[in-house]
Structures are given as C-alpha cells and as structure tokens.
Chains A and B, each alone.
Chain A
Amino acid sequence: MYEDLASGSRARRTLTGAAHLLFALQLDGPLVAGLALIAAFGLVVLYSASGQSVATVVRTALRLLLGTVALVLLARVNPNFLRRATPWLYVAGCVLLLIVAAIGHVGMGAQRWLNLGLFRFQPSELMKLAVPMTCAWYLHDRPLPPSWRSLAMLTVLILMPVGLVAIQPDLGTAALIAVAGILVIVLAGLRVRVMVALVVLGALAAWFGWSFMHDYQKKRVLTFLDPQTDPLGAGYHIIQSQIAIGSGGVFGKGWMNGSQAQLEFLPERSTDFIFAVVGEEFGLLGLLLLLLLYLFVAGRALYLATQTQDTFARLLAGSLALTFFVYVIINAGMVTGLLPVVGVPLPLVSYGGSSVVTLLAGFGILMALYSRRKLIGS
C-alpha cells in the first residue's frame, strides 16, 4: 500500500495518489466514488431539467461543494466527541424548531425556514441527523434489545421534533425524521411482535391523524389512491410524471429532448420530480443505472455500518445508510405512482434546499464512525 509512487503507469499513479488522499482524509473510496457518480449524473440531468439553466447547475454544484466540505470535515471528527455532543445538538435543534414555529419565514405556504441573513436554514434538516444520533446515543450504553422503558423514552425523543416539523407543516420531512429514528430502534433489535403491534397502532393513529390533516395533505393521499379523479389538480403531477417516464421507453428520448420536461408539462421537474426527467430522457436504462448507483451506495454504507465496533456507531451508521435508501424508494415510488406524493427529494439529484448538505454531512459522520473504529476503545 505504501509502494513507491514513482513506479507504475500514470493512471496507476493517479489511482494510488487518490487512494492515499482518501486514506489521509479518512474517507471510504467506494462510497465516495458512488456518491460522486450520482452527483455528477445529477448535475447532467439537472442541466436539462432546469431548462439549460447554468445558474441552477452552478448553484447546485456549490451546494455539493459545501456538502463535500461538511463530509470531509465530519469524517475527521472523533466519534466519541460526536456522541458526547449529540444531546446538545438535539436540544439546539429543538430550540431552533421552536423559533421557526414562532417567527420562521413562510415559504411555499409552510413555515420552514430560518433566515440567517446570508442564507436560509431549515432546522428540520438538522433534525434528520440529530434524531438518529440521539436515538443511537440513548441506546449506546443500554442493553439491547431495548427495554419498554427505553422505547417509551425514545418515542418521546423522536416525537418531539417530528411533531414540531409536522406542524410547520412539512409532513414529508417529519416522516423522514421519524423513519431515521425508528430505523435506529429497529436495528437495535426491536422485537418483531412489538413492531407488529406498532404497525397496528400506527394504522389507528393514521386514521386518527386524518382528521387533523390539512386539506392539501388529505388531497395528496386521496389523489394517490386515484390520480384520475383530479387530472388537472392534485393528480396532474402523478399523471404527467407517469407519461414522462412511460414515453421515455427503454432508451429515452435523449438528453434535453424530453418533451414532458422541456415543455413544462412535468411539474417540479428539477426538484421532486427529477426522477421522471431521467426516465424520459435516459429511459429505463438510465433509471436502472441510477438505481444501481443508489443501491451500491446504500449497500456500501450498510456494510460499513456492520464493520463499526460500538453500539452508537453501528446504530447511527446503519440508520444513515437505510434512511438514504428510504429517500430513494419514497421519491421513486412517488414519481412512478406507487406511493403518495410527499415532498421528498431524490438524494443528490433533486435541485434545491439544504438537503444535499445534510445528506453529505450524514455520509461524513458515517465515514468518521467507520474509519475510527479501531480507535474506539472502551
């Protein structure tokens, strides 16, 4: 591994140099490669989906850069420090959510933003990381599978931020935060009968929650059940995205040549529905390639999680890996009409928001947990 850099071909030297760099930065090569490929593909798609907007691509590239910086920095952080900082992060996140609820900036009909002058910040994004971290932190020195007491405590820890995000209202993010927390508990060994019982309870809660939903939220659910009922209203998104994907066929219509996307029939084509643009312009092959990349990244991340050596690292890394893939499944499922339309972006490809930074920061944490595994003594 430490052979002479001067030997071998130029390509080999480059590769070796890259490997050294990654090692020095405590980054996982395959994972970084997978993420980079997805991000690159995403930029190519985004250029087309935004109507050849260079500005959009540059802005996204800058966010990716910011995310990469976060990734590299977090990868160097000592997991023990991370674990100790977790409760403070959680409290800070909750306080910020309370502030948003009180004075936050109303964007897109929902109160989600905190205007920090230079840029707007969504505390709910922070919670996507803080909640699984908190759950892992809580379970770290407790025997697993978790006891009923622990479960009750974890429920409170999860529901507090989830509730605050849900009232913004941002049901999609709230659900994802909850999923990240729940995944920690599941990986911690939650008993199967408890899971079944919770699913039943969840169904009851859903029925109960229905009466508290906003009209647009109800409409989304109803439209999911039958998009044709409202072809020009709420069902329009799903119908148009299915037309886009279906008309793409196996090979696609070609880059920047998707009529659904380019002529604006496809709504939110560069954000939540960008998966349909890939399907229209790059066809089934493009989508399979993209799904394969996601599967690789998630699989690699999960593998790294299994290689960590303490409970906090394992649970957090596992949750981050799975949450990433849940995003992909929910977004792709929604765009193809398998799942209801919830505002979940396609990781690393959808335009906008601080989600790219959060996501890459998450992978940074994951790599920190993995690379420092030998240093964690107890």
Chain B
Amino acid sequence: MPAVRIKDQWREQRLFDQRSLVCAAIMGLGVLGLIVRLFVLQVARHEYYSDLSQGNRVRNEPIPAARGLILDRNGEVIAGNQPAYQLEMVPEEVPDLEDTLARLVQLELVRSEDVGELERTVESSRSFDSVPIRLRMSDEDVARFAVRRFEFQGLDIKTRQTRWYPNGELAVHALGYVGAISEQDLKHIDRAAYAGTALIGKLGVESAFERELHGTNGYREVLVNALGRSVERQGAFVPNLRTRSPAAGDDLLLAIDLKVQRTAEAALAGHRGAVVALDPNNGDVLALVSLPGFDPTLFGRGITATEFGALQADIDRPLFNRALRGTYPPGSTVKPVIALAALTYHVVDPQAHRYCAGAFHLPHSAHVFREYHNEHHGSVDLDDAIARSCDVYFYGLADVLGVDRISAFMAPFGFGKAAGIDIGGEKPGILPSREWKAKMFSRPADQVWFPGETVNFGIGQGYLNVTPLQLAHYASIIATRGKIWKPRLVAAYRDPRTGQIHQVPPQSDGQVTGVAPEDWQRVVHGMIGVTTRGTAAAIGYRAPYTFGGKTGTAQVFTVGQNEKYNASKISERLRDHSWFIAFAPADEPRIALAVLQENGGAGASAAAPIARKVLDAYLLGADGKLKPPQLMKPPQLMEPRR
C-alpha cells in the first residue's frame, strides 16, 4: 500500500507563494519585453512608421494644367479649351441600376445595346467612384437630362476640359490635334508630369510644341480611408493637406493668318490638294492647307472606332498631310530655277530666240519629247519661255546643262531635303542625280543616268519629287533673290503666369550664292510675264499689284508616244496634278506660295486662280487696294480668352 500523503497547509502556502513570485517575475519580464518592443516601434522606428501612415492616409490627386491656347497672327483663337459634358454615376447612390439604365434608354441618353456593357462596368467599379455613363453630351442631351435630373438619384452631369477647335477643320494639318495618351506617347513623356493629363498633342503644332502647351500639373493631397474613398475628416479632425496649383501651358502665337487660311481652304474646297503660303522675309507660314481635312475635335473627345475607320478608309485620305508629306513631280514650276542655272552657268543667251515646233529630239534618238498639249510656241527667248512655259526651250537647256549641274544648282533651293518647318513631319522629296540613281536602283542597268532623263528633269518631270511646302519655300527663295528662311508656324509664345512674351526669332538657313542680280531679275521678269501675258495671264488680270508666278502640270498618267493627253477621256484620278507657285508684290515680296490641286489638270486653270485669291486675301485691304507695307501687322498677342 502506498504511503498516504497528508495535506501540509503550511508547506502548500509556501509553495504557492514561491510560484506566485516566479509568475509575477515572468509577468514583469513580459511587460519589460513589451516595453522594449514599444520603444522600438514608437521611438526608434517612429519616423519610418510615420511615413507609412502618412502614405496610407494621403493620396495625391493631380490637377491638370490648362493647355496653352493657340492663336493666329491676329490673336484669333484656333485652339482653346472647353468643358465637355458627360453623364456620370455613383453606383452606391443608385437605388436600382437596371431600372435607371432602362429609363436612360427611354430618354435616348444610353443606347439599349450598351446597357449590358454599362452594367458590367458599374458593377466592377468601386461603389463610391464616379463612373462615366455617357460621354460627349450635346447641349440638347444635357437639357433633356437636366429637366429629369430629380428622377435619377446618383447620376449627375460632370464637366471636364477638352480641346476645342472653334473653326473645326480649319488648318487642321498645321495644328494637328490632341488625343488620348497612347502607349507610344508614354515612351516620350515623363509619366509623373502627365499624371492627371488625359490628352496629348498628336501631329502638327499640338505635338511639336507639346512641351510648351502642356504646362505643369498641380496636385491636391486628399485624405483617403482604407478603401481609397476620399474623406473630409480624419476622425474628429480636418488635417492640413497641401495643394499645388497647376501652371497653365504657354499660349502659342502662330504666324498663320486665319483670313488667308480660310480663303485658301475655301478656294480649294471640294478638291484634294494643298496650299502653302510663306512670308519670304522671315519664313512665317501664313497659310498651310491640306484638303480634305478632318475635325480635330473628334480625337479630343474620344473618337469612336467607326469614325476613325471611316477616316482611314476614305479614298481621299483626309488624315494625310499633303502639304508636308505629299510628294509630286513639280512640273514646269521648276523652269525658273533651270533658267537661273542656265544663266549662272552661261549656257544660254537670254536674248537669243529658239524655235519651238512642239517637239524635241535628242541627237541620235527617235524619242519625241512633246510640248504640253502639242502647242507650238514658235520663236521664244528665255523670258518668253518662262512666261509661256515652253517645254522645248527647257528640254534644250536641260540637255546642255546636264544632270550634274542641274542637281547641284537646285539643291540650295531646298529640293531633296526638308525645308525645316518647326512642326517637323516633312517628307524630303527627291532631287535626282547620278549618285542618287546609282544608290536607288539595284539592277546595274537601271543605275545609269540616261540623257533622256535629264531632258525630262528640265521640265520637272521624271524622278524629281517635291512637297507643296518645298515648292512654296522655293518660290520664297526666288522672291527674295536667294534668301533662305526656315518655315515657321510658331512666331511667339507667352508665359501665362508672367505674361512674358517670347518671340521666336526667324531661322535663317543661309542664302543661294553665285547668282548674279541681273539673272535673278531676268527670271523674276519671266515669272511676272507668266501672270501678265503668259500661261496665267487670266488670273493676273487687273491685279492691283504685280506678281511673279509659274504654272506647273505634273503628269500622273504617262501619255503614249503618239497619243494626245485628253483630260475628259481619262479617269479623274489619273488626270495631271495642277501646280502654281507665286510671290507678290514682285519687287518687294511679302508673300510666296505654292498651290497644288491633285488631278486638277493644267496649272493655269486649276491652281492659279486659287493662288490669286490667296494673294488678294493677304495683300489687299478692305478697299480692294494693296495694303501699304506699314499696315501689315507682325504677329501679335491679343488678350487671351480662356
């Protein structure tokens, strides 16, 4: 039998006291451990946790900067900012989503086929975030909703700034447009600086001067709770939150004169083509037209796939900037520079007459180089040959000059390279030469320059290819007798904060050297002849100023050796392109331009009348008389209207 243990109260009490003491000591150690831990958290790492808690509670909400305005040289707004209306829904405030959407369909604010998609969008959004239900509301839509607003709990009309082009399509190819920021754009921009910015410049001035136009976005610190919902108060307190105001982008003052631009677009309306008008004294682009155009507002408000598809599929290619990127043979518009070359190289006596029987043969060749429309100019000197655009005369000049001299002489006039306009995006065109042809073709037989190609070169056909901008640039070089300016659209910009105006100085691009003043004069005289007694005499009729011009007809469709070109017989799109270059007034030029009408036929009949209208629009006052030069205003900034 095991020994029975007797309860020993005194010993048990002592044991209990011992154990209690040990437990109390362990308790104390536990508290000590906690205090060490608290010291680490609240003293040693306090700053670290403070930052974390600050990062938790504050969210930076960007405030987009107002985009700079774009104004024409007289201060008229070409691109501004305008609030656009959209219908937005806060899901948690909507009592019955299905019913609400059904009633919106009844109001024709939502299309019934979009309801399913909208429901999914709303359901996947955070319940307190505003969800756009309908973008791009017309004033009528807004009004229709406004009267029923009380029936739609949780829905409201919100405004956001979008780009506004008050003149619609006007000058769109110079301006470009703004659109949603694409993956491609993200590679070029500082993402942080663009937080909050929805639209970015695409093409034209909007893109080239994006940095100036964009401005600096501001931010607002917003108190948020754990769900990301922005809240007013933190418990009982309203904390101090920082705000940085955005700085609006610079306003741009363009060299464009909207009056000239409008005239040019109206004159070319209904056709495909381009007009570029420059101030030959500084490179100011007075007008830059490429038709057809498109409405830039579509992109800013969010273009639909259908709309964009239609623009892309359009056979007239409205998105294509013909003025900068369309390359065409210049046709007879090159004759002045060929004449200058011949005079400079002393291969022609300007007074000597040659006989034009309507055709030209190279020695030992049966190939016939025809006169346009098989005309016979009879006996012509250099002046006549320019004025009446005698191909035979220039076939001869080209043959004597040879391709090397022609190519070398034409290069300073801007052929074969971009004119350097400040918005970029130009095609350089082609200035052919022996070297160019050797490089261009892979078959040895094709790499040889043929004499016949030189002959065609003389009348601007063959490989030679130019853009309308290049031809206007060339016309302005002739107008100033050799001065070269880089074309510029932006003449000045204004800092909206300081009001300070920064003039963009004209960019000289050198000068054509080695041409004698009397040779310039001879060619200019020939070009005046074009508009007084030559191919474009009809459009120079009763002009209150003298002006130089040159027609050109660029072949699209090669006429067979024994055929006649008959415009009515061939399809419209195979007709010749019609060119006209001009500068005015001839002795003291203020404007130089190039007009291209695609498939317009002869230069004199299609392009030249347009040119005359543009010249008149720029040069004549309200009284129909030539404005005195001192009344021609330099680009200036008016008080901007934001």
Contacts and interface: CB of A to CB of B under 8 A. Distances in A.
Interface of A: 48, 51-52, 141-145, 147, 183, 186-189, 240, 242-250, 254, 256-265, 279-280, 283-284, 287-288, 291, 295, 298-299, 302, 305-306, 310-311, 314-315, 318, 322, 325, 329, 332-333, 336-338
Interface string B256-286: 0000000000000000000000000000000
Nearest to B22: A186
Given A247-B54, A333-B34, 5 more contacts: A259-B234, A284-B39, A306-B17, A318-B19, A333-B33
A333 B38 CA distance: 10
B438 to A, nearest CB: 66
Contact of B12 (A186, A311, A338): A311
Interface string B5-47: 1111100110111011001100110110111011101110110
B223 interface: yes
Contact of A287 (B8, B16, B38, B49): B38
B52 A263 contact: no
A246 B42 contact: yes
Given A48-B235, A262-B235, A263-B224, A336 B41 contact: yes
Contacts of A333: 30, 33-34, 37
A315 B20 CA distance: 10
A249 B43 CA distance: 6
A189 B34 contact: no
Contact of B38 (A147, A245, A264, A315): A245
B235 A257 contact: yes
B12 A144 contact: yes
Contacts of A263: 56-57, 223-226, 231, 234
B223 A245 contact: no
Given A263-B57, A265-B225, A249 B31 contact: no
B16 A314 contact: yes
Given A52-B235, A247-B46, A291 B34 contact: yes
Contacts of B239: 259
A332 B234 contact: no
Given A256-B236, A263-B224, A325 B27 contact: yes
A247 B45 CA distance: 8
A189 B20 CA distance: 10
A279 B40 CA distance: 13
Nearest to A249: B46
B52 A322 contact: no
A265 B224 CA distance: 10
B229 to A, nearest CB: 9
B237 interface: yes
A318 B16 contact: yes
Contacts of A242: 41, 49
B236 A257 contact: yes
A325 B235 CA distance: 31
A51 B39 CA distance: 27
A257 B226 contact: no
B308 interface: no
Q: Which 4 A-B pairs have the closest CB atoms?
A: A246-B49, A262-B235, A247-B53, A143-B5
Interface of B: 5-9, 12-13, 15-17, 19-20, 23-24, 27-28, 30-31, 33-35, 37-39, 41-43, 45-46, 48-50, 52-54, 56-57, 223-227, 231, 234-237, 239
15 contacts: A48-B235, A143-B6, A187-B23, A243-B49, A243-B52, A244-B53, A245-B49, A246-B53, A259-B56, A259-B239, A261-B235, A263-B56, A295-B28, A299-B27, A311-B7
A332 B41 CA distance: 13
Interface centre among B7, B39, B42, B57, by most chain A C-beta atoms within 10 angstroms, is B42
A306 B20 contact: yes
Given A143-B8, A144-B12, A311-B12, A284 B43 contact: yes
A188 B20 CA distance: 10
Contact of A284 (B7, B23, B27, B42): B42
B37 A302 contact: no
B111 to A, nearest CB: 38
Contact of B35 (A240, A247, A256, A288): A288
A191 B125 CA distance: 63
A292 to B, nearest CB: 9
A141 to B, nearest CB: 7
Contacts of A186: 19, 23
B42 A283 contact: yes
B12 A302 contact: no
Contacts of A284: 38-39, 42-43
Contacts of B223: 263
B206 to A, nearest CB: 41
Contacts of A311: 7, 9, 12
Contacts of A258: 235
Nearest to B57: A259
A259 B53 contact: yes
A135 to B, nearest CB: 14
B235 A247 contact: no
A306 B18 CA distance: 10
Contacts of A337: 37
Nearest to B5: A143
